[in-house]
Structure 1
Amino acid sequence: MDPRVAAVDGFTKTNHKSVPPSLDPATVRLEDGFTVCIIGASSGIGEHVAYCFARARVARLVISSRTISDLEVVAAEVNRINPLGEIDIVECDVSKATAVEALADYVRTHCGRLDVLVLNAGYAGPVITKMDRGSPEWVQRAFEVNALGTYLAAHYFVPLLLQTEDGAKGFMAIGSIAGCIRRGPIANTGYTVSKFAQIRLVEYLHEQYSGEGLVSLALHPGAVMTRMARGNMPEEFLPYMTDEVDLCGAVCVFLSKQIRDLSWLGGRLISATWDMEELMAKKEQVVERDLLKFTLLTE
């Protein structure tokens, strides 16, 4: 295993594979009018992020993906969980500027506010550990979705987050510890490097907008057996994909509830598998040493 990844995995003494009682979204009550938009909500992690916000009785939820038909089942389940909340479904390909702009305009026009954006859309492609193998199109698509998509989401949604009066101003990119990987059987060049770029973009967001109240962070969802993972992960790594699909959503709800007090986490990569109480207790250490960011070592 790449030592960088091992270090991240062990940042808290306690780690979780499923939602602990302390993170049960059903015990959380978000503010009146709280509005969340999830990009990439048709299946897997994004789908369950939507369900977790529904359990927290979010006032309004906008879910999007490249194909609207994939969202109808998700919207129905959200309605079942939270019949008093409003749910909107909007088509959006995060790699297309016009589509992301249209989604932001929809939220602005129909919702009038936005408290939290959860950017879950991602692309992995087949695992290629040598640059002279595979197809350049796979790498290009990874950068279009994971890196450019993050920039486009920031470009069009950050103004809406900042303009929302009394809004929570949370920008959460579902990133990946894969952005730290350099070697090994899952060092997929296009995916890992584009996820590295995504994490750096989140750091840039913090540098550029934290003074205006934006709290931006990258959240590793855990090792989850999603449809994307099953289709691209090497066979020998599949037994390690044991984290529950709803853990990330529960952490998103936990963070959203107190996002205004989490400016110290801004621009950092954290993991949904970490114990959140232990992470919060590390605030002084994280801030003092500027941890959970990429840096160039010179000594």
Structure 2
Amino acid sequence: MSDPRVSAVGGFTKTKHTSVPSNLDPSKVRLPESFTVCIIGASTGIGEHIAYSFAKAGAANILIASRTLSDQENVATEIRRIRPDGELAIKECDVSKASDVEALAESVKREFGRLDVLILNAGYAGPVTTKMHEGQPEWVQKAFDINAIGTYLAAHYFVPLLLQSENGAKGFFAIGSIAGCLRRGPIANTGYTVSKMAQIRLVEYLYEQYSEEGLVSLAIHPGAVMTRMASGNTPEVFLPYLTDEVDLCGAVCVYLSKQIKDISWLSGRLISATWDMQELMSKKDQVVEKDLLKFVLLTE
């Protein structure tokens, strides 16, 4: 049985995209001089292509991080091919470890002296279990350690740098998932969905705590993408629905970064990369007036 909450979110804009529309082509965007982006979880799939999108848009400084340096070698080579004149750094970082995230933030500050946008793409799904008595507790623990605690740690160590960067974009983008809204169905994986709900809620807290200082925090659903993580954990019955292109989310991240000073009204909310961005922007008054795209406890 489908979950109506997820259907409502998925269809928030009448027009939806499975691939990068021409008006979001990152190669047609020019980011400001000295623009610096750090992408955590950039060794493969969605995070890898987010890095390529920022390279195409001419980001001056790009730092990519994942759990092992060897996983990033091919990504670094492609970034240098796309954008040979920019600065690139690659680092190790396990987002579930405070010492790793702290060291990564210090590396960004030391090597680039600023940060405009942090993109947290690291995530963990684990084997799908739709009953709490199934599976192993460590699967759920790992999902919370990476998806929820990892988001907290990224905020704890990177928000000060974002706020201190002179004339910075001040963007905190967590690559979340509409799965955080799921309660039932074949992919309602307890550890993943509830930890992703916690991640989305943390993004809302960032808005409440730092929006007056200019921070723009977003949870971005990247679409239903056949990534390595998805192919290894998605039930066979759902595989035909993984039809969105892997580079769509990166193009949306660049689009949002370019005009971040004009989208403070979106801060603290969950959006989808599959939505038509122009249509989403046209819904500003509706979103603000009704405080949409956030979790709420209904009382009537």
1:298 maps to which residue? Answer: 299
1:144 and 2:125 are equivalent in the alignment:
no
C-alpha deviation, 1:62, in angstroms: 0.2
For residue 22 of structure 2, what is the aligned residue in structure 1?
A: 21
Identity %: 76
Q: Give the TM-score of the pair, scaled to structure 2.
A: 0.99
Displacement of 1:84 after TM fit? 1.1
CA distance in 2, matches of 1:148, 1:84: 35
| 1:264 counterpart = 2:265 | yes
The alignment partner of 2:52 has SS state of helix
Q: Deviations over 1:239-298 (max 9, x none)?
A: 000000000000000000011111100000000000000000000000000000000000
Q: C-alpha distance in 2, partners of 1:257/1:72? A: 27
User: Which residue in 2 is equivalent to 1:116?
Assistant: 117
Question: How big is the shift at 1:53?
Answer: 0.5
Q: Find the aligned partners of 1:168 and 1:10 in 2 and give their Cα distance.
A: 29
Q: Which residue of 2 aligns with 1:243?
A: 244
| Runs of at least 5 residues in structure 2 that lack an aligned partner in the other structure | none
SS of residue in 2 equivalent to 1:57: coil
Give 4+ residue runs of structure 1 displaced > 4 Å after superposition. Answer: none
Amino acid at match of 1:39: I
Corresponding residue for residue 211 of structure 2: 210
Aligned to 1:194: 195
- Structure 2 residue identity aligned to 1:273: T
Tell me how far 1:85 sits from its aligned partner.
1.1
2:263 matches 1:252: no
Structure 2 match to 1:5: 6
Whether contact under 8 Å (1:101, 1:156) holds in the other structure is yes
Give the Cα–Cα distance (whole angstroms) in 1 for the partners of residues 126 and 261 of structure 2. 36
What amino acid is the match of 1:165?
E
Query: What is the letter of the counterpart of residue 237 of structure 2?
Result: E
Separation in 1 of the partners of 2:34 and 2:262? 19
- Contact 1:169/1:260 (<8 A) preserved: no
Equivalent residue, structure 2, for 1:104: 105
Q: Deviations over 1:9-43 (max 9, x none)?
A: 11000000000000000000000000000000000
Question: Structure 2 CA distance, aligned partners of 1:57 and 1:34?
Answer: 8
Return the letter of the residue paired with 1:173: A
Distance (whole Å) between structure 2 residues aligned to residue 156 and residue 262 of structure 1:
24
Secondary structure at the aligned position of 1:223 is classed as coil
Count of aligned positions: 299
- Superposed CA offset, 1:68-111 (max 9, x none): 11111101000000111111000000000000000000001111
| Cα-Cα RMSD | 0.4
Question: 1:54, 1:78 within 8 Å by CA — same for their partners in 2?
Answer: yes
Aligned partner of 1:162 in structure 2 is 163
| Distance of 1:94 and 1:43 partners within structure 2 | 16
TM-score for both structures, normalised by structure 1:
1.00
Q: 1:163-187: per-residue Cα shift (whole Å, max 9, x none)?
A: 0011000000000000000000000
The answer to whether the 8 Å contact 1:57/1:82 transfers is yes
Q: Is the 8 A contact 1:52 1:253 kept in 2?
A: yes
Specify the alignment match of 2:72 in structure 1. 71
Whole-Å Cα distance in 2 between the matches of residues 84 and 224 of structure 1?
A: 31
